[in-house]
A and B are shown apart, each in its own frame.
Chain A
Amino acid sequence: MIHLKAKDLTRYFERRRVFKGLHFELKKGDVQVVLGKNGSGKTTLLRILAGILPPSRGKASYKLNGDELRGEKLQRIISLVAPDLNLYDELTALENLEFLSKIQGFNFKEKELIETMSQVGLEDRAGDQVGSFSSGMKQRLKYLNALLKKPLVLLLDEPKANLDDQGISFLEKIVQEQKQRGILIWATSAREEVKYGDQILQLG
């Protein structure tokens, strides 16, 4: 069972404090909504939880069945979808998924990847460069990439951005599936989205 413990998480950018002393614990089945206005540190918090930004103080630790996860083992269980986390525009959708799965040690066959793309209606665009996609299509492809490895921890930053009704239904399905699989953290500035979580962390 996956367990996340954030202890005294603090982050400064030079002398500016983004947030200070955050404590929370999450376990499998938990959905936490991180609510805050622009600049309150939601993206920074998600980056710290994803392990791509170190905190100035404190620690975020993950345990799977009691064993602490670090490095590659941690990378394998975490997925992050964020507006500033772009895919490679000059590669095709299929090449992006192939690169991102192979580099993590997941050996999907081309046919499997194309089949997965049909979940978000992109199977016909598998061979097109991502740069030619609309922002909504790019967002759906980002979700697909994040979900390929069936992550135990899914971090979503402004998840509804650029999604149409069909995309939002897909997102709601993801929330239900992730509840069964592990932990979901949903960062948003929209108060109406707190309905997706069972815990709320207010920033700013």
Chain B
Amino acid sequence: MSGPATVPSVVPAPAVRPNELVEYLLRLGDDRLVLGHRVSEWCGHGPILEEDIALSNVSLDLLGQATMLLRLAGEVEGRGRTEDALAYFREVVEFRNCQLVELPKGDFAFTIVRQFLFDVYAVVLLDALTGSSHAELAAIAAKSLKEARYHVRHSGEWMLRLGDGTDESHRRVQLAVDELWRFTGELFAADDVDRAMQDAGIAPDLAALRPLWESLVRDVVSRATLTIPNDAPRVASTRGGRTGLHTESLGHMLAEMQIIARSHPGATW
């Protein structure tokens, strides 16, 4: 390089190992693929027509976001795997979604609480990712954030209506909060992959996002006249999804999700 030596105004980010970036993109993509599939299980089973349509729309958005993220993961990986190959031809232990999203859909209250906890997480995380040093990831985040904003309005308004509704709706939604709360620790439990992404400016500090997430969640939960269970046991009890350790239910879900693609490899329609 010629010219006078200057002090760079920005410290160059350390190089990221491609496999770490692939790993990170799979986490983002798999969260949305698996949750999108779970939500799609409501199609034709929603409690009212408007809600059936709403959940199917949310599912479609999540699957669209997963498509963008898994396509990018496949491109970065450079082994020729498309988003479809990643969705349909990986085994359970290769999935990188958090355990929260893979649990069976449960009743409507369970689904709404899970969506709400995830939607707030998505809004907070995607908002931070719009500032990612990885231009394509930042673009996908900005696009997805618009959708996450109306997802959280949908699930949040249901939280209020069910929590502050009838005795039965309150009972069911409180049960779901009690059951699901322990799965939220994993959302903010950073490991080496997250730290590498953070050092490279690709992803935010997960732990730093948590106070905002928690204040948004607690505000709605208390307005819905619900309570959050004691914090202590939640982080230790349920994690491992990010490294391929899943609950039994993910295998069953994948069997159903993947069977057509595996029975007729390469089929087009």
Partners in one complex: no
| Interface residues, chain A, with chain B CB atoms under 8 Å away | none
